[in-house]
Copies of this chain bind each other. A is one copy, B any other.
Amino acid sequence: MGWTLSTLAEKLGLRLQGDDCEVTGVNTLEAAGSGDISFLANAKYAKYLPLSKAAAVIVTEEHASSLPRALVSENPYLDFSRAVALFAKPQGSFSGISESAYIHPEAALEEGCTVYPFAYIGSRARIGKGCVIFPGCYVGEDCVLGQNCTLYPHAALMAGTVLGSGCVLQPGAVLGADGFGFIREKDRVQKIPQIGTVRIGNNVEIGACSAVDRAVLGVTSVGDETKLDNQVQLGHNVTMGKRCFIVSQVGISGSTKVGDDVTMAGQVGVAGHLTIGNGVTIGPKSGVAKDIPDGTTCGGTPAVEGRTYMRTLALMPKFPDMYKRLGQLEQELAELRALLEKDRS
C-alpha cells in the first residue's frame, strides 16, 4: 500500500518540503530504502541524515533545510508514529464469523465482527461493532466488549469481564481469573470465592500473558488509555487510573489504588492496600511498600525519592569498600585513643 508524500503531508497536517513522490513504507534512517519515509526524533542520530536513502524524512524545521525532501513537524516522533499507523495493516487472515467458532445462542454480536475458528463466546456475552476475536479466545458468560476491540489468540475473559471500546488484548492475556484469596486452617485451606469482576476502560492494551484478577467483591478496574506490557499481574480489587504505562513483569498486589498518568518500569513490585498518586514514576525493579504522593519520581527497595535512589544506585558498588573503611576507621580511632590516653596518663 502506497501514498504520495503530498497526501501523507495532508493527512498528518505537516508541511512537505521538496517535490512529491510515492512512498510505500516507513523505516529507520539507516534501514530506509528509496521508497520509505523515515524520521529524526533524537538529535544524536542527525549524522545519519545525509547518508539516508529515505525518500523523505520527518524532521523539525531546524533539520529540514539540509534535506531534498522533508515532512516538517514540531514533534517528529509523534508524527512518525502517526505515519506508521497509516502504513500498518491489521494482523489476520480471516473475516466473518467462523462456523468453527462456538457462539452461545444467548450471546449477541453487533455488526462487523470477526470471529475466528476455535473462539468461544459464552452465554449473554455482548460483543460491540467491529470486534476481532482471534482463534482460541475465550469470552465467558456476561462479558461485555465495546466497539472495535481486538482479542489476539488465546486471550481469556472470564465471566462478567467488561471491556470499553478500542481495547487490545495481546496473546494469552487473562482477565478475570480468580484473585488469590485463601485462609489457612489447621490441616486445610479455605478458598475465598472471588465473586467480583474486572472492568477495563477504553483504548486499554493488555500485554501477552498478563493477568488482571477478578475482585473478591466489587471490581478490579483499569482506566482509559492505560497500557500494560507483557507478563504484568494486577491482583484482585486493584484500581488503576488512566494513561498509565506499566512495563513488563510488574506485579501489583490486591486492593492497591494507582492514580492517573503513572509509569512503572519493568519488574516493579507494589504491595497491597497502597495508594500510588497521580503522575508517579517508579524506577525498574523497585519494591514499593508505602503510599506514594502525587508527582513523585522514586525507585529502589524500599522505593525512595528519585535522587536518593540514583545516588544509592551509584554508591552501591562501593558497599564492600565502605565496610572495609568502617573497620579501618574503628581501628585507627582505637589507636588514636590509646595514644591520647597514654599521653594523658
Contact = CB atoms under 8 A, between A and B. Distances in A.
Interface string A195-235: 10000000101011101010011100000010101110101
Contacts of A213: 208, 230
A65 B249 CA distance: 48
A170 interface: yes
A177 B230 contact: yes
A326 B323 CA distance: 10
A67 interface: no
Contacts of A315: 319-320, 323
- Among A216, A285, A322, the most chain B Cβ lie within 10 Å of the Cβ of A285
Contacts of A180: 207, 227, 229-230, 245, 247-248
B135 A120 contact: yes
Contacts of A344: 339, 343
Interface residues of A, number: 122
A233 to B, nearest CB: 5
Given A152-B156, A154-B172, A203-B189, A316 B301 contact: yes
A188 interface: yes
A301 B178 CA distance: 30
27 contacts: A77-B183, A78-B190, A93-B124, A93-B141, A94-B122, A102-B118, A117-B120, A118-B120, A120-B153, A134-B138, A135-B138, A136-B138, A138-B154, A158-B171, A172-B174, A189-B225, A207-B211, A233-B266, A267-B269, A285-B287, A308-B317, A311-B320, A312-B317, A312-B320, A322-B326, A332-B337, A343-B343
| Nearest 9 A/B pairs, CB to CB | A88-B193, A93-B122, A93-B123, A138-B153, A311-B320, A81-B192, A120-B135, A156-B171, A177-B208
Given A174-B230, A251-B267, 10 more contacts: A28-B218, A92-B159, A94-B104, A98-B102, A102-B118, A136-B154, A171-B177, A235-B248, A325-B326, A343-B344
Interface of A: 26-28, 31, 77-78, 80-82, 84-85, 87-88, 91-94, 98, 100, 102, 104, 116-118, 120, 122-124, 134-136, 138, 140-141, 152-154, 156, 158-159, 168, 170-172, 174, 177-178, 180-185, 187-193, 195, 203, 205, 207-209, 211, 213, 216-218, 225, 227, 229-231, 233, 235, 243, 245, 247-249, 251, 253, 261, 266-267, 269, 271, 284-285, 287, 289, 300-302, 304, 308, 311-313, 315-320, 322-323, 325-326, 329-330, 332-333, 336-337, 339-340, 343-344
